[in-house]
A and B are shown apart, each in its own frame.
Chain A
Amino acid sequence: MEKALFIIIAVIAVAAALNVLIQRNPLYSALSLIGTMAALSVLYVMLRAQFIAAVQIVVYAGAILVLFIFVIMLLNAPKQQLQIDKQKGLRYLAIPLAGLLLAEAFYVVWRVQDIAMPVVKEGEEAVGTTWSVGVALFTHYLLPFQVAGVLLLMALIGAVVLARREGDK
């Protein structure tokens, strides 16, 4: 049952991701990406990472892709969809990069075989709950959490500065 569900969801995730690449219209690509995000969220739930699954929807599907679509609309996308073809040089860079990513993925798969999955005791599934994520985040990972705050600050200032250059005055 769980396996069947996993296969269905995984196929949806991969198919949607492929569709992102195949579509010529960037707007369709962005919409397809929402499908990938939703499928990934289901996979997170199956891994007992409930909190991350919800965050995946709230942040990725609900915020980052809204920004993507705003930008695509802002750039008046349909007329510029052919511009990608003009930069042929980038293709030669893409091949080694894709190869590198593939090698990395294979390396991870090869490594993971050796690592035992953490055993979850029956009836005790409080691994990925809001509670356990909170405990980890605000004690063990306190420094990364505060650094994330600084990163957000940088993003905020960056956005304002960039917009100023394009905007008025």
Chain B
Amino acid sequence: MIQMMAILLQAQSRPPAAQSDAPIFGYIPIIIFFLIAVLLPVVLLGVSRLLHRRVFEREKLMPYECGIDPIGDARERFSVRFYIVAMLFLVFDVEVVFLFPWAVIYDKLALFGLVEMLIFIGILVVGYYYAWRKGALEWA
């Protein structure tokens, strides 16, 4: 069954949307764009460095803490919640990435595609439910 699907799909495996004549060349502007985009902050900071006024004063360099002298180090340890959010994000981000190619070929996969994605999402929903019940999605 799966083999059949594969053969069937390979037979019509041209993407339905016409790509531009040479697909890989379409990526070259990214490099050009990146180089110009890097130039922008360099120019902005350079101009401002040349023109700005500098009056040295020790107090000015103090980190802002409502006007009083800073207490202790600013780089305190923070809540483990942020770490949990990052972990959960990583798992679901990979899941979302899997959804993209699936959605693109969905009209060819049809029922077969729906079932396999339901199984995949079903597995993760178990984990999601577990995380919810254990309070990992709770912030306070």
**Chain B binds chain A:** yes
B79 vs chain A, min Cβ distance (A)? 9
The number of inter-chain residue pairs (CB within 8 angstroms) is: 154
Residues of chain A lying within 8 A (CB to CB) of residue B75: 73, 76, 78
B-side contacts of A142, CB under 8 Å: 2, 116
**Residue of A62, A132, A138 touching B102 (CB-CB under 8 A):** A138
Task: Give the chain B neighbours of A66 by CB distance below 8 A.
Answer: 86, 89-90
Q: By DSSP majority rule, is chain B's interface helix, strand, loop, or mixed?
A: helix
Q: Known interface pairs A76-B75, A138-B102. Does A149 touch B87 (Cβ–Cβ under 8 Å)?
A: no
Asked whether A153 is an interface residue with its Cβ less than 8 Å from the other chain, the reply is yes
Interface size in chain A (residues, C-beta < 8 A): 51
8 Å CB interface, A67-101 against B: 67, 70-71, 73-74, 76, 78
CA distance A37 to B72 in the complex (A): 36
Do A145 and B101 touch (CB < 8 A)?
A: no
> Chain A nearest CB: distance from B74 CB in Å?
11
Q: Considering residues A45, A153, A160, A164, which has the most beta carbons from chain B within 10 angstroms of its beta carbon?
A: A160
Tell me, yes or no, whether B84 is within 8 Å of chain A by CB. Answer: yes
Tell yes or no: B23 within 8 A of A by CB: yes
Taking A50-B23, A70-B82, A130-B104 as contacts, is the C-beta distance between A63 and B123 under 8 angstroms?
Answer: no
Taken residue by residue from 142 to 160, chain A's Cβ proximity to chain B (1 for < 8 Å, 0 otherwise) reads as 1001101110110111011
Considering only CB atoms, which chain B residue lies closest to A123 in the complex? B21
Q: Is A64 part of the binding interface, using a Cβ–Cβ cutoff of 8 Å?
A: yes
Inter-chain CA distance A163–B14, complex, in Å, is: 46
Q: Is B6 an interface residue (CB 8 A)?
A: yes
A23 in the interface (beta carbon within 8 A) = no
* Pairs across A and B, CB under 8 Å, 24 listed: A50-B27, A63-B89, A73-B75, A125-B23, A131-B15, A131-B105, A132-B13, A135-B6, A135-B105, A138-B102, A138-B105, A138-B109, A146-B116, A146-B123, A149-B95, A149-B124, A150-B123, A152-B124, A153-B123, A156-B128, A157-B131, A160-B130, A163-B84, A163-B136
Binding site for B on A (CB under 8 A): 42, 45-46, 48, 50-51, 55, 58-59, 62-64, 66-67, 70-71, 73-74, 76, 78, 123, 125-126, 129-135, 137-140, 142, 145-146, 148-150, 152-153, 155-157, 159-160, 163-164, 166-167
